[in-house]
Chains A and B, each alone.
Chain A
C-alpha cells in the first residue's frame, strides 16, 4: 500500500530541494507571474523563459520526462479553453479558410495568442509540478501557513493529503472483496454493485470525518491546528531568489 503519488521525488537532494520552502514558493510564484504577464503576441520571449524553467528542472534532478507527463495530462484542459482563440475575429491580418459554403476566419494574432496562452499554461504547470515534487508536502503546507495563507485552507489541504490515500485504500479493498466474491453475474449487476460501493465510500468518509474530529477534540483541538515550523531562511536562499529575479527582469526587458 505504498502510495508514491506526488512524494516520489520529494526526498532526493539537489539545489532546488535544499531551498527553504517559503523562498521556493515565492521564487516559483515570481516565475509564474513573470510568465503569465508576458505580452501575448511576442512569442520569442518564451524561448528564454522555457530555458529558465528547463534549467530549474535540470537543477532539481527530477526527470524532465516525469514533469512533461504531468503537462501532457493537463494539456487537454488547456486546449479546451484555448482552441477557439485563432478563430476570434480580429481587425489586423488574417485569412479565411473555406470548405465549400463554410468559411472560417483565422487571424494571425489569434494564432499567436493561442501559442502564447498554451506556452504560458504549460510553463506554469511545469513550475507548479516541480515545486510540488521537489518539496515534501508537509513542509510545503507549513511554509504556506507561514506565508499567511488562511489556516482553514491549509487544514483542508492537509486533511485531503492525509485521507485521500485512506479512501483510495478503502475503495481498493472493497473492490478486491467484491472481486473475490464475483463469480459471473451480469454487467448490470456489477455496475449496480460499483454504484453501491461509491455510496458506501461516501458514508464511510463522512463517518470517518466525524471520528477524526472527535479524535482531534480528545487531544484539545480548539479550532486552530498548531504546528512547529523549524526551517530558517539562509543567505543562499536569498541569493537564489535575487538571482532568479534578475534573470526574469532581464528577460522581460530584452526578450
Chain B
C-alpha cells in the first residue's frame, strides 16, 4: 500500500466573518495518486486546498508527510507542496516571466545554473519558452495560466495542488495541460469544475458540498452516479454522456 502523504482528520475552518467553510473534513491522500476535488461554487474547494501547505491552518488536524504543520516545518512543506492559485494575477507577482518561474527555485537556494535549467524545463513543459523575458501583464490569460503552472513545476514538488488549472485555457492548451498532468509523477490534487479533466487525470474524487465531504470514491464510481452528481449541482462529464 502506498504511503500516506496527507492525512486530514476532523478539520474545521471558519473565515473571519464566521462562515463555517470546512466542516469536519476527513481525507487521506496517498503518494503518487491524483485526486479531483469537485463540488458546486462555494463548496470549500479552494479553502481546502489552502490548508494543504499551511497557508490556512484551520484547527490544525492535518499531517503532511507525517509532520504536524508548524512554523518550523513550513519551509520544508512549501518545498514539497506546490500550490497554483486560481487567479494567475495573484500567482505571477514578479516583473518578468523568468523572474516569476525562478522565484521558487531561488528561494530554495539553488545555484544559478540549476535555476536556469529548472526555469527552462518548466517553461518548455507548458510551451511558454518564447515568452521567458516578457512581462506577465502583457500575456493573455491563458498564457498567464500556463506560466502559473510553470512557477510551481520549476520547484519540482512532491505534491502538486492546482486550483482550476484549466479555466481560461484554449482547447489545445487544455489538452496539453491534461497531457502534462498525466505525465507528472507527483501526487496531484486538483480542484475544478472541469469534470472531464478529472475523469482523464484523476483516479479518485472527493465531492465537497457546503464545506462537507459528501463522498470520497473512485472517479468512475462517482461519475456514473448521475443522481449524486445532480444532487450536488454537478453533472455527468461530457465524455461519459456520449458513451452512455
Which of A158, A211, A220 has the largest number of chain B CB atoms within 10 A? A220
Q: Contact between A218 and B94 (Cβ–Cβ < 8 Å)?
A: no
Interchain nearest-CB distance for A162 vs B (Å): 6
**Residues of A199-235 whose CB lies within 8 A of B:** 208, 211-212, 214-222, 224-228
The contact string, 1 if C-beta is below 8 Å from chain A, for chain B 72-109, is 00110011001101010111111110110011101110
B99 lies within 8 A of A219 (CB) = no
Of the residues B55, B74, B85, B95, contact of A137 by C-beta under 8 Å: B95
Chain A interface mostly helix, strand, loop or mixed?
A: helix
- Once the chains bind, are B95 and A220 in contact (CB under 8 Å)? no
Q: Which of B94, B107, B138 contacts A222 (CB under 8 A)?
A: B107
A221 near B107 with CB under 8 A, answer yes
Mostly, the B contact residues are helix
Q: Which residues of B contact A3 (CB under 8 A)?
A: 137-138
> Within the complex, what minimum Cβ distance (angstroms) separates A67 from chain B?
22
Assuming the A-B contacts A138-B96, A220-B75, A227-B99, are A215 and B106 also in contact, with contact meaning beta carbons closer than 8 angstroms in the complex?
A: no
* One of B79, B95, B106 near A161 (C-beta < 8 A): B95
B154 to chain A, nearest CB (A): 9
Please classify how large the interface on chain A is, using the bins under 10, 10 to 19, 20 to 34, 35 or more: 20 to 34
Does any Cβ of B come within 8 Å of A2's Cβ?
A: yes
CB distance B95 to A162 under 8 Å? yes
- The verdict on A227 contacting B75 (CB below 8 Å), with A165-B137, A220-B107 known, is no
- In the complex, what residue of chain B is closest to A11 when comparing beta carbons? B133
A162 touches B136 (CB 8 A): yes
Closest beta carbon of chain B to A21's beta carbon, Å: 13
In the complex, per-residue mask of B13-26: 1 if CB is within 8 Å of any chain A CB, else 0: 00000000000000
Q: Indicate if B155 sits at the interface (CB-CB under 8 A).
A: yes
Inside 8 A of B191's CB, which chain A residues have their CB? none
Give the residue name and chain of the B residue nearest to A221 (CB).
Answer: B107
B58 to chain A, nearest CB (A): 15
Q: How far is the CA of A160 from the CA of B83 in the complex (A)?
A: 24
- CB <8 Å contact, B79 and A220: yes
A211 touches B90 (CB 8 A): yes
Instruction: Point out the residue from A141, A159, A165, A228 that lies within 8 Å of B93, measured CB to CB.
Output: A159
Q: Is there contact, CB below 8 Å, between B104 and A219?
A: yes
B78 in contact with A217 (CB, 8 Å): yes
B107 contacts A214, C-beta separation under 8 Å? no
Q: Which residues of A contact B87 (CB under 8 A)?
A: 211
B135 at the interface (CB under 8 A from A): yes
> Does A47 count as interface, using CB distance less than 8 angstroms?
no
Docked-complex contact A218 and B112, CB < 8 angstroms: no
| Contact, CB under 8 Å: A208 / B107 | no
Given A137-B135, A162-B94, A228-B102: 9 more A-B contacts, CB < 8 Å: A3-B138, A138-B135, A162-B136, A166-B89, A212-B93, A215-B85, A220-B104, A227-B103, A228-B115
Please name 12 pairs of A and B residues whose Cβ atoms are closer than 8 Å in the assembled complex, sorted by A: A2-B138, A3-B137, A7-B135, A138-B96, A211-B85, A211-B90, A215-B91, A216-B93, A222-B107, A224-B107, A227-B103, A228-B115
